[in-house]
A and B are shown apart, each in its own frame.
Chain A
Amino acid sequence: MAEAILTLSSLHKQYGGLEVLKGISFNVMPREVIAIIGASGSGKSTLLRCVNLLEIPSSGTLSFDGVLIDFSKPERLWRRGLSLRRLRTRIGMVFQSYNLWPHKTVLENVTEAPIRVKGMARAEAVDIARQLLARIGLLEKCDTYPSRLSGGQQQRVAIVRALAMSPKLMLFDEVTSALDPELIGEVLDLMATLAAEGMTMLVVTHEIAFARDVSTRTIFVDGGRIAEEGPSREMLTSPANERTRQFLRRVLHQPVSASARP
């Protein structure tokens, strides 16, 4: 049995008196693609942001690639600032609003972190970036600025920017939610390719069809807790939990196909 790449155990997150995550525990095995679904406000994005420590959990432990962090001892976290950064370099994150850096060209967006964070030689970083951009068919855009690209192109560059750090785990936070319906496909296709190549992925999504067809496992988050989890195809076609059923009915109850979101 392979060892889990990521282990969360009883992760809690509070903002003042508001408890957003009420004890989340799960393992992620290498090459697994996990879809995290749930209503807005259920805590699924917070959960994702806790994994690469954009939000520091209030308590619980997180173990990634052999590094264990215990959040009940916050004073140790400060001293471990550097190792938190090192952890982040091995976890790629893609955001809903792309968050490309507008003052840098497409190529510079991709090479910036390898050069500044990893200390990679510029020539090598450029080489890697060009290969990645060629893969997504955007090599000819490498000297343009992000504002000249479509949303789908920007999001694919954002994915490539994360891949340039050769992460062991990729986090996707509702990456198609800000896109025009006709641009969603190209981004999902790229994610499906990554999944097929064996990238370990945690995907917060509203694309139920994508979750069903691409992810290996689905986690349904409700009210800050995992309400149900299981193999995606099974769980999304015949959910055991009544809350999951209700949620899926609401999400899928649309006259058009599931991927065309309102």
Chain B
Amino acid sequence: MSDFINPVERAAAWWHSIEEYLPGMLESCAIVVELTAAVIILSWICGLVAALGKTSTHPVLRWPCEFYIWFIRGTPTLIQIFIVYFGIPQLGLRLSPFTAGVVALGVSSGAYVAEIVRGGLSAIPKGQTESAIAIGMSARQCLQYIVLPQVVRIILPPITNEAVTTLKNTSLLSTITIVELTLKSEMIISYTFRPFDFYIIAAILYLAMTTSLMSTATWIEGRLARRY
């Protein structure tokens, strides 16, 4: 490269050397998006169930949920991923890397979502549920029509934060052979020997994805806030 004097030509040559790897990197971005979407859905389900369980008065419901949240929040996410991907097959259940990754990250993120939801639930005044129960709604109707719509608005900012963390945490799944953006970059670097270029590109691609996630959330937040 030092043979080139003209900076325009230098840039063109640099671009030429990068160009052929970009489609592959963009493909791995699609995998990141798929993983993130699946993990977020699973984490919301786990989080809602665990939050409701932890706020329950029945010890049989509460105790497992408390254990789950305590265990997940107290152990590294990477260990949790290894337990699911390497550990569970030892018990006889073989999971594909993608499934294992989604399950591990979803269950992991679910514990954090649970704490966020629990905070949101406790912010709803007791009178809200009382008036719903008093007028004859079932517990489920009260949750669905009265409590959760209000909780969603309250927890949107912290839940967005958790979703962004989830997106970034998909890079941990590079350790279990999922060719997402991080592993893809490492593979490219292993034969180009240009870690600076490709890690920077990876970072920019991650930034693009997290930024669109955050601006979507801001847009939703704005729409909800305007209503009441």
Task: Show the binding face of A for B, using Cβ within 8 Å.
Answer: 52, 54, 85-86, 88-89, 91-93, 95, 97, 99-103, 112-113, 116-117, 145-147, 158, 161-162, 165
Contacts and interface: CB of A to CB of B under 8 A. Distances in A.
B149 interface: yes
Interface stretch (B60-68, B88-96, B127-135): B127-135
A85 B134 CA distance: 8
Interface string B123-163: 00101101111111110010001100110010000000000
9 contacts: A86-B136, A88-B134, A95-B134, A97-B125, A102-B228, A103-B227, A112-B145, A158-B131, A162-B135
Contacts of B125: 97, 99
A250 B136 CA distance: 38
Nearest to A148: B228
Contacts of B138: 85
A191 B227 CA distance: 31
B127 A117 contact: no
Size range of the chain B interface in the assembly: 20 to 34
Given A161-B131, A162-B135, 18 more contacts: A52-B134, A85-B138, A89-B135, A89-B136, A95-B127, A97-B125, A99-B127, A99-B128, A99-B130, A101-B132, A102-B228, A103-B153, A103-B228, A116-B137, A116-B145, A117-B141, A147-B228, A158-B131
Contacts of B135: 88-89, 92-93, 113, 117, 161-162, 165
B133 A101 contact: no
Nearest to B138: A85
Nearest to B137: A117
A145 B227 CA distance: 8
Contacts of B127: 95, 97, 99
A161 B130 CA distance: 14
Contacts of B134: 52, 54, 88, 91, 93, 95
A7 to B, nearest CB: 20
A165 B127 CA distance: 19
B130 A85 contact: no
Contacts of A145: 227-228
Nearest to B152: A103
Given A112-B145, A147-B228, A101 B131 contact: yes
Contacts of B227: 103, 145
Contact of B136 (A100, A103, A113): A113
Q: 8 closest pairs, A vs B, by CB? A: A89-B136, A99-B131, A99-B127, A145-B228, A93-B134, A113-B135, A117-B136, A88-B136
- A85, A95, A103, A146 — most chain B CB neighbours (10 Å): A103
B44 to A, nearest CB: 19
